[in-house]
Amino acid sequence: MALDRRALLAGLGALPLIGCSETEPPSYGDILRMGDAFTYSALRALTPRLGLAREYGHKDITPIAAIGTVNPGNPAEPGYQPDQGQLYDRLRTQGFAGWRLEVTGRVARPRSFSLQELMALPRRTQITRHACEEGWSAIAQWSGVPLKAVLQASGVLPSARYVTFECYDALADGVDMVDALHPQTILAYGMNGQALPLQHGAPIRLRVETQLGYKSLKYIRRIVVTDRFNDTGQLGPIQTGWAWWAGI
């Protein structure tokens, strides 16, 4: 019995060597990503594609803290990027008059939008709960243009599968087409009936109501449509151990 067990254990110990002696052992990141991929496919299969996040009434609105970057133009903040930060500071002090949102990649008409141009597109207002991965939540009203309308105005190509967002701070992240075209996924320029405040992402932030708080990027600068997955490297969530897909 004991011998059998020892033989079995020896056999198991040798298993990882079979057929892959030249490969590196899986890194921690690779294992996490395998889990992420499984969660993503399982939940994408289970959740109805156009399921809406719950919307609330005006009386449900709560105070909401500003988390992470609160001014990408401030060199003292951890996410400060000198080039983009200086540009942001200049644009902000000029009331974002010269600000443009660039849309590029797998679109028939790569272009940029001024704030006025975005405001001239269809508008959606929603009162939703922001759920931060750190355990707090808050309810606010957001107004903006559905991302779908911006993608359509740029002639998104049929092969497009992902949309990535670059920010004025050191952050970039993306969503798949299901979330990109979701009716509640908006580029918000208004919050609680006012222009989006500096600390909450002025002049434009993303609202992805189907995912955790960190996917709702503030200070959006550029949108890149791709047909291949891009984890946005050091600027993205995977490197710091967060899931790329954070569905709720």
Ligand X SMILES: Nc1nc2c(c(=O)[nH]1)N[C@H]1C(S)=C(S)[C@@H](COP(=O)(O)O)O[C@H]1N2
Question: In this chain, which of 68, 110, 155, 247 binds ligand X, going by CB under 6 A?
Answer: 68
Among 143, 184, 211, 216, binds ligand X (CB under 6 A): 216
Distance, CA of 158 to CA of 177 (rounded, Å): 11
Q: Does 213 bind ligand X (CB under 6 A)?
A: yes
Query: What would the x/- binding string for ligand X be over residues 71 to 110, using CB under 6 A?
Result: --------x-------------------------------
With respect to Mo ion, which residue has the nearer C-beta, 106 or 215? 215
Give the residue, chosen from 132, 170, 178, 248, that forms a contact with Mo ion under the rule CB under 5 A.
Answer: 132
Report the partner that residue 66 touches, choosing among ligand X, Mo ion, none (CB closer than 5 to 8 A by kind). ligand X
* Buried b / exposed e along 213-246 (16+ C-beta atoms within 10 A): bbbbbbbbbbbbbeeeebbbeebbbbeeebbbbb
Both tokens assigned to 98: 């010269």
By CB under 5 A, the residues from 188 to 227 that bind Mo ion are: 213-214
32 is a contact residue toward ligand X (CB under 6 A): no
Which of these segments, 14-22, 104-112, 151-159, 208-216, binds ligand X (CB under 6 A)?
208-216
Q: How many residues does the chain have?
A: 248
From Mo ion, ligand X, none, interface partner of 216 (C-beta below 5 to 8 A by class) = ligand X
Q: Which stretch binds ligand X (CB under 6 A): 37-45, 48-56, 209-217, 226-234?
A: 209-217
Give the number of other Cβ atoms within 10 Å of residue 57's Cβ: 9
Pairing of strands 111-113, 205-207: unpaired
Q: How many residues bind ligand X (CB under 6 A)?
A: 18
101 binds, among ligand X, Mo ion, none (CB under 5 to 8 A by kind): none
Binding site for ligand X (CB under 6 A): 64-69, 79, 132, 167, 169, 171, 200, 213-214, 216-219
